Chains A and B, each alone.
Chain A
């Protein structure tokens, strides 16, 4: 069964450094998402992407964040200058058309020191 994959599974970085989180969505899906979950809290929407552009973004997704779909398979989230409060689990998700489910990747745990 096709799955969303994410790399790395765990990323440790120093405050102020740039990180890139990578995702490979399910191949025939059209809609792509990034969510984050601070430990013990709910899943929060960051950004959605369709037709090579951002569809929607949350207040969390400020100028320090960007997304790219550089080729036909990868979907990346970049944080330019990480802050301590960016420490969280980041989930990528993808969805086909219609009223169908999102498929979540296994997540990348980001730790900012």
Chain B
């Protein structure tokens, strides 16, 4: 089955710096790669996603890159702000129309942005 590894487990940056979180996956059938932000006691909130036919996607201060050959994808947050502090999860999913599939999550990265 799918195995997703996420690094680092904790990340502390100064406000205004960039943050990068990396994930690798094992199953070449995975074709959808979301990133979630989770605050304490809340549901995972999708912040950006990328599909297997795309190499990079950007949304304001957030970007994601995907290297299908190497089976890794990364989250980049620029100009970090204290409100970016949260736990971030990557996931890999083999979405098919004939099967519901599943998402396999990484272990999470606790991001702390110091003012």
Number of interface residues of B (CB under 8 A): 27
Q: Is B60 engaged at the interface, CB distance under 8 Å to the other chain? A: no
Taking a contact as CB atoms closer than 8 A, the residue among B44, B101, B105 that contacts A55 in the complex is B101
Can you name the residue of chain A whose Cβ is closest to the Cβ of B95? A99
- Contact residues of A: prevailing secondary structure: strand
A56 neighbours in B (Cβ, 8 Å):
99-102
- Structural contact, B44 and A31, CB atoms closer than 8 A: no
With beta carbons under 8 angstroms apart, the residue of B52, B91, B97 that contacts A97 is: B97
Query: CA–CA, A89 to B97, complex, Å?
Result: 28
- Does B51 have its Cβ within 8 Å of any Cβ on chain A? yes
Nearest-neighbour CB distance to chain B for A86, whole angstroms, equals: 18
Kindly state the separation between the CA atoms of A100 and B102 in the bound complex, as whole angstroms: 12
* A49 and B100 in contact, given A101-B34, A101-B46, A107-B43 (Cβ under 8 angstroms): yes
Residues on B lying within 8 angstroms of A by beta carbon are 31-32, 34, 41-46, 49, 51-52, 89, 91, 93, 95, 97, 99-108
